[in-house]
Amino acid sequence: MCLGDFLLFALFFTGHLHLTVSMSSVVADVDGPPFILVPGDGGSQVEARLNKTSVVHYVCEKTTDDFFNIWLNMELLVPLIIDCWIDNMKLVYDNASRTTRNVDGVETRIPGFGASYSVEWLDPSHASTGSYFASIVDALVGIGYRRNITVRGAPYDFRKAPNENADYFARLRALVEETYVASGGQRVVLLAHSMGAPMCLHFLHLQSQAWKDAHVRALVTLAGVWGGSIKALKVYAVGDDLGSYVLRESTMREQQITSPSLAWLLPSRHFWADPEVLVQTEVRNYTVRDFRQYLVDLDYEVGWEMRKDVERYAEDFSPPGVEVHCLQGYGVPTVDRLVFAKGKFPDGYPGFVYGDGDGTVNNRSLAGCLRWRERQPQRVYHQAFPGADHMGILRDARVLAYVSGLVAKFRAFPRRP
């Protein structure tokens, strides 16, 4: 998995459901703007079908008759079997085309575009630990919204960055327009979590102001990774165990570092100054100007190639041109610097200096939306919740109350720009 969110899930069952929902023939009688949910890194189900000629371990399947749930399924993350999962989930970078692909014999798809189920639950069996947007959808349904009609999902392949998601952005535009028409001309609220926030920002950059004025009521973000995160540097070095004691960081790293979205979420120069030390070693220190050297020293120069492909998206922080409601947590210890003891870099395990944030994303990145207040005519609202961590914000009672209150405001004042 890439960084960004690093979903702290423990899931158990596979699934075989694939659905794209269309509302072209449905007119929704809704009192309030429809919502489209945009997940973060790891916030979409992923299904795979195999037709491989070779495998990395004798216990791995070569072929499957149909698609099966591969993200995130703890049955596939046990010893030995995890080698199969890594080989099926990792990406291969092509330096000539500047794009990534699955390994040979692996076909993947993202189920549920237009529906809400695949972003409500990452575990198709609805095990409680696989809950994602479920609490938010339940709150919306509780005040009159309808799943798949006035609250919809827009999942995508979170392994990839905006440069490889052009088709997704086209589908998202079509989904906004379709939902707008089906709701009787009510403008849509985009509600995004973590990496979904900068994904929405780029999507809005692609649209004309006239289109945004006509179709988008507001952008609501939860724990937006506006300026990247120090944790991305940690993943490149040692990986991340997703908060599960049964997983090994070093094993997970084999898959995680192959995702261009990880390169996209490296700390931005908009938010970290050149003199600030992000990684400290006995030989040299690394700042935002030293990503190439850092990745070369970690023996993963392909990571720098990916970074070059996505850097322009990370550096474009112009305002979205719509009303923004930016919600975040704070007061949770968050990695602020990696410190490698003598002789421990690049193969050892670092120590960490902690700062403020939500446990995954640093506070300066989470609060990045405040920079737009003087740069666009549309209002930018910001609310920080003490103790809300990166995943907990999705079911925090204070956040659910904010979203419900926002709906009441929109119902009372369905104004146009």
For residue 386, whether the previous peptide bond is cis, meaning omega lies within 30 degrees of 0, is no
Is 16 part of the annotated catalytic residue set? no
Label the pairing between strands 216-222 and 151-153.
unpaired
How many Cα atoms are found within 13 Å in the side-chain-facing hemisphere of 224? 27
354 residue type, one letter: Y
Q: List the catalytic residue out of 44, 118, 131, 194.
A: 194
Q: Annotated catalytic residue: which of 215, 270, 325, 390?
A: 390
Among this protein's residues, is 22 annotated catalytic?
Answer: no
Look at the block and give the residue holding tokens 């599960």.
Answer: 244
State the DSSP code for 358: B
Q: For residues 8, 366, 44 and 32, what is the CA-based torsion angle, rounded to 10 degrees?
A: 120
Going by C-beta distance under 8 Å and a sequence separation of 6 or more, which residues neighbour residue 360?
3, 4, 5, 6, 194, 223, 229, 231, 334, 389, 390
358 assigned to active site = yes
Catalytic residue among 309, 358, 389, 396: 358
Beta bridge partners of 330: 386
The residue assigned the tokens 């190639």 is 305
CB atoms within 10 A of CB 213: 15
Q: Which residues have a catalytic role annotated? A: 194, 358, 390
